[in-house]
Amino acid sequence: MLLTNAHVISPGFEKENASVLIENGRIIAIGNESSGDLDLGGKLLLPGFIDIHSHGADGADVCDASVDSLEHIARTKLKEGVTTWLPTTLTQPQDRLIEVVQAISNWVDSAPLNVPGMHLEGPFINREQAGAQNPQYVRLPDINELRTLHEIFPALILSLAPEVPGGYDLIREAAAMGITPSAAHTKADYHCIMSAVGYGLKHLTHFGNAMTGLHHREIGTVGAGLLEDCLRLELIADGIHLAPEMLELIFSKVPRENIMLITDSVSSSWQPDGETTLGGLDVVIKDGIARLKSNGALAGSTLRYPLGLKLIQEITNEPLGDLVATTSWNQARSLGLVDLGKIEPGFIADLVVLNDEFEVERTFVRGQ
């Protein structure tokens, strides 16, 4: 397949009126051909988005433990331009998590997008920072439980609270298993986070949310993320989970290579206002914002992936070429996903076509 008249934007590379030749699911060449199989009409051509934190979409949840739900989420994420997805779990009982992970394993070979692993969010978090996670199922770190789940289907990220008893040991063991440890739903102070880094902590989950904030005498987990270049930050760029001013602050302080845009989308995304559930908790969607019915806490997001990138560009006024790595390349490098995240010869042809309003016109997975 030869794509023509594309405005290619990739980390470190931008070219208008470009052609992209695809063979056997890979990019073979980028050139100036004017006629080919598909004329993109000058629209934006970006690397396919990599969403490393997403629980669900359009009424379906990973924790449904259903192949049909996983397929529906994947098809919906494709409509957002997401070509690589880590199905993300919630804090649930151990037997339920086993069912959830088994469902992922049973489905993955037929998945319509790339699913190189999963993201385990919880259950080893701090109950006092549970947020929209169900505190009833929070428990202390258990390496045997982690191994059991990882053996059924590989985890690429484990989100946990490093300060809970056994947290450091679990971080060390997870890192040794090839799992990226990430701090989440945590009351850790700055020194605890930096100690955890010594054990293998690398990410901060949905940065700014359900973690210790910035204070002038204790800069907390948020301060560590702003100050320390050894940490990569997940950002929910919906203007709700993080105020626009906070997003502006993050982009003014944190190196671009340490920022990874996520959706943290739940089953409420792509849904109208109304009532639903999340991990057994009642949720109300109002004005497109999902909150727990019990206390009004944010309950995941309804963000569609390209709208996060659109908001970041509006806030920072930076060219897309400076921001596009936050949607793909940074995630790929962080998790060791080879040949993903760029539009370059030799890379897998995972691509998304956007119009000027950041609406998805086409999504390609391995050239299809």
Chain segment 195-240, per-residue pLDDT in tens: 999 999 999 999 999 999 999 999 999 999 999 999 999 999 999 9
Angstrom distance (rounded) from CA 15 to CA 34: 14
Chain segment 325-341, per-residue pLDDT in tens:
999 999 999 999 999 99
Active site residues: 264
Angstrom distance (rounded) from CA 326 to CA 258: 8
CATH code for the domain defined by 49-337:
3.20.20.140
pLDDT score recorded for residue 133: 93
Q: Looking at the chain, which residues constitute the CATH 3.20.20.140 domain(s)? A: 49-337
Q: Looking at the chain, which residues constitute the CATH 2.30.40.10 domain(s)? A: 1-48+341-368
pLDDT score recorded for residue 84: 98
Mean pLDDT value across residues 13-35: 97
Does this model's pTM top 0.85? yes
Q: Does pLDDT of 296 surpass 90? A: no
Angstrom distance (rounded) from CA 89 to CA 100: 8
Task: Give CA 165 to chain center in angstroms.
Answer: 27
Q: Does pLDDT of 3 surpass 90? A: yes
Backbone angles phi, psi at 86, to 5 degrees: -105, 105
Chain segment 232-286, per-residue pLDDT in tens:
999 999 999 999 999 999 999 999 999 999 999 999 999 998 988 887 888 899 9
pLDDT score recorded for residue 297: 87
Does domain 1-48+341-368 sit in CATH 2.30.40.10?
yes
pLDDT score recorded for residue 183: 98
pLDDT score recorded for residue 145: 98
User: Which H or E run contains 14?
Assistant: strand 13-23
Backbone angles phi, psi at 25, to 5 degrees: 80, 5
Chain segment 60-105, per-residue pLDDT in tens:
999 999 999 999 999 999 999 999 999 999 999 999 999 999 999 9
Share of residues in the chain with pLDDT > 90 (%)? 92
Strand partners, 364: 351
Chain segment 148-185, per-residue pLDDT in tens:
999 999 999 999 999 999 999 999 999 999 999 999 99
